[in-house]
């Protein structure tokens, strides 16, 4: 660093001076402190939002007669140049200029002279950064919304092919009752539907304009904040300047919604890993989502679901980080808030990558030649069926059968327990016991009992709304298809 001229302004730095603030400071910032306080190497990803916010602010300043039309034009032109430079990778980001805001403003001043220096009229970096983060996050939420729908589509597609594929449903990870594999997948679709709704709800509170709050108390210039909000397609204006610059609820809410998405993916991952275990063998995922072992030649490890499960911890950790970041802060802006960015950015990156990879791992990739998706999960229906035949998954059906013959449910439950015990002793399924043996447990049992003891009979009988009967599952698939084809 060159020796400091403590009287220089941020804009003068480009002329080779090293102190960012003003005549007030009697010595330059040390290099360590500069590095410690700078955010430019991560917050530069806000550049588009920063320029959009500045352009909206400048347009309003000109409309209100606070800056001249010529200054406005010079700012627009300068920002166009800066946009090109950043897009071309030619922009010289400077650590000395601390953050994305000061970097862009300093370059603007270099390009547009005094017009650049007038841009900050009626504005502070406090309301500027709050605006930038909101604008950026709004765009990311829209991308996440699309990715959540892609994942739902992938699950619905596999569900469509597996309405009649039967696997054992578990409670306590023990065989409980047979269910349709489609029904199982659609349970996850329901979770992602709620996630989508949560994201859209969060978006409404993200999409509110802090700009015009200035440093903390509002400003003496006659700003038209509503105009800026309209220009930026924001739904409202923060109504209290102290809150406007210091509120990070929106980031926490977003992280909470993102954590729930990851949590759902993590549960699905746990099941995928279990289903891929050799002693279960319900599914395979394509080789491109697995890795080998450096020592065991036979291995194909489900790294992607395992990592997604692990990355869930990371995203939930960011949520905890953001909550802790805010809990001790007095009003209004504090530099602590600069620490909101890396967790938020990493949450968005992790979530988007995970959603993309899961949609493809489950649903496959579009083959342009056939127009169909290929390479999604492979289902081993025979293994699922064999597993459903173990563990007396249709015992409840036998009890329900006896209830229909007039027994009180508790008595039926006890009768079936005896039958299961006998079948266990013989190492056979209930459906494999001879009719005469079954009748020994209760005389009301007749030949039609074998209809209810079959896996298909068990499924078909669960016709209540939301149940696993194929007729219900098909109705749910149709509902999801229609929903996903529409805008809503």
Beta carbon of residue 170, minimum distance to ligand ARG (angstroms, whole number):
47
What's the closest the beta carbon of residue 12 comes to ligand ARG, in angstroms? 19
Give the tokens for residue 293: 């072992």
The residue (of 53 and 302) whose beta carbon lies closer to ligand ARG is 53
CB nearer to ligand ARG: pick between 105 and 360: 105
CA distance 308 to 259: 12
What DSSP designation does 335 have?
G
Query: What is the token pair recorded at 357?
Result: 């990879």
Question: Is the Cα dihedral 44, 50, 51, 52 positive or negative?
Answer: positive
Least distance to ligand ARG from the beta carbon of 53, Å? 13
Beta carbons within 10 angstroms of residue 19's beta carbon: 24
CA distance 387 to 385: 5
User: CB-based contacts of 52: which residues, under 8 Å, 6+ apart?
Assistant: 135, 232
- Between residues 166 and 332, which has the closer beta carbon with respect to ligand ARG? 332
Query: Which residues of the shown chain bind ligand ARG in the complex (CB under 6 A)?
Result: 39, 43, 99, 125-126, 129, 333, 335, 337-338
Nearer to ligand ARG, 162 or 337 (CB): 337
Q: Which of 2, 68, 293, 418 is catalytic?
A: 293
CB 60 within 8 A of CB 223: yes
Is the CA virtual torsion 468, 472, 477, 482 positive or negative?
negative
Instruction: Report the residue number, 54 or 338, with the smaller CB distance to ligand ARG.
Output: 338
Q: What's the Cα-to-Cα distance from 284 to each of 192, 303, 407, rounded to whole Å?
A: 23, 13, 44
Nearer to ligand ARG, 50 or 71 (CB): 50
Element (H, E) at 209: strand 208-209
| Least distance between ligand ARG and beta carbon 46 (Å) | 9
Q: Which is nearer to ligand ARG, 71 or 99 (CB)?
A: 99
Dist. CA 258–CA 316, nearest whole Å: 8
Residue 30: active-site member:
no
Tokens representing residue 215 in the block:
């440093």
Q: How far is the CB of 347 from ligand ARG (least distance, A)?
A: 16
- Say which of 26, 172, 279, 294 is annotated catalytic: 172
Residue reference for tokens 């000395």: 96
3-state secondary structure of 180: strand
Bridge partners (DSSP) listed for residue 170: 175
Are the CB atoms for 214 and 126 separated by under 8 Å?
A: yes
Q: Is 480 in the active site? A: no
List residues with catalytic annotation: 172, 293
């Amino acid at each position: 660093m060159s020796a400091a001229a403590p009287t220089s302004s941020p804009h003068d730095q480009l002329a080779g001076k090293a102190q960012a603030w003003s005549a007030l400071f009697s010595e330059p910032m040390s290099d360590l402190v500069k590095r410690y306080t700078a955010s430019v190497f991560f917050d530069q990803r806000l550049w588009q939002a920063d320029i959009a916010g500045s352009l909206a602010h400048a347009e309003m300043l000109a409309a209100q007669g606070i800056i001249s039309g010529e200054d406005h034009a010079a700012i627009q032109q300068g920002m166009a140049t800066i946009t090109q430079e950043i897009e071309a990778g030619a922009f010289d980001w400077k650590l000395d200029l601390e953050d994305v805001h000061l970097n862009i403003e300093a370059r603007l001043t270099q390009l547009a002279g005094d017009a650049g220096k007038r841009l900050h009229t009626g504005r502070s970096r406090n309301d500027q950064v709050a605006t930038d983060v909101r604008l950026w996050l709004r765009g990311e939420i829209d991308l996440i919304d699309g990715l959540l729908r892609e994942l739902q589509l992938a699950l619905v597609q596999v569900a469509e092919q597996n309405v009649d594929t039967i696997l054992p449903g578990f409670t306590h990870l023990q065989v409980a009752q047979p269910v349709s594999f489609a029904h199982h997948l659609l349970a996850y679709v329901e979770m992602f539907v709620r996630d989508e709704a949560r994201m859209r709800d969060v978006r409404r509170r993200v999409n509110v304009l802090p700009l015009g709050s200035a440093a903390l108390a509002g400003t003496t210039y006659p700003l038209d904040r509503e105009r800026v909000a309209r220009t930026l397609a924001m739904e409202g204006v923060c109504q209290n300047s102290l809150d406007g610059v210091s509120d990070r609820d929106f980031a926490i809410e977003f992280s909470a919604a993102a954590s729930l998405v990851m949590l759902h993916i993590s549960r699905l991952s746990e099941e995928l890993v279990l289903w891929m275990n050799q002693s279960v063998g319900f599914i395979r995922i394509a080789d491109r989502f697995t890795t080998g072992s450096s020592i065991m030649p036979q291995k194909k490890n489900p790294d992607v679901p395992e990592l997604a499960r692990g990355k869930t911890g990371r995203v939930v950790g960011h949520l905890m980080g953001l909550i802790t970041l805010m809990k001790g802060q007095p009003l209004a802006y504090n530099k602590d808030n600069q620490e909101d960015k890396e967790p938020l950015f990493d949450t968005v990156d992790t979530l988007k990558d995970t959603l993309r990879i899961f949609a493809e791992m489950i649903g496959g990739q579009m083959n342009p030649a056939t127009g169909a998706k290929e390479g999604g999960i492979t289902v081993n229906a025979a293994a699922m069926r064999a597993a459903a035949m173990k563990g007396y998954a249709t015992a409840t059906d036998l009890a329900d059968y006896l209830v229909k013959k007039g027994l009180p449910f508790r008595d039926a439950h006890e009768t079936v327990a005896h039958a299961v015990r006998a079948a266990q002793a013989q190492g056979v399924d209930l459906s494999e016991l001879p009719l005469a043996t079954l009748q020994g447990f209760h005389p009301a049992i007749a030949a039609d009992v074998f209809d209810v003891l079959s896996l298909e009979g068990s499924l078909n009988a669960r016709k209540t709304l939301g149940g696993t009967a194929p007729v219900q599952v098909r109705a749910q698939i149709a509902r999801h298809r229609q929903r996903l084809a529409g805008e809503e």
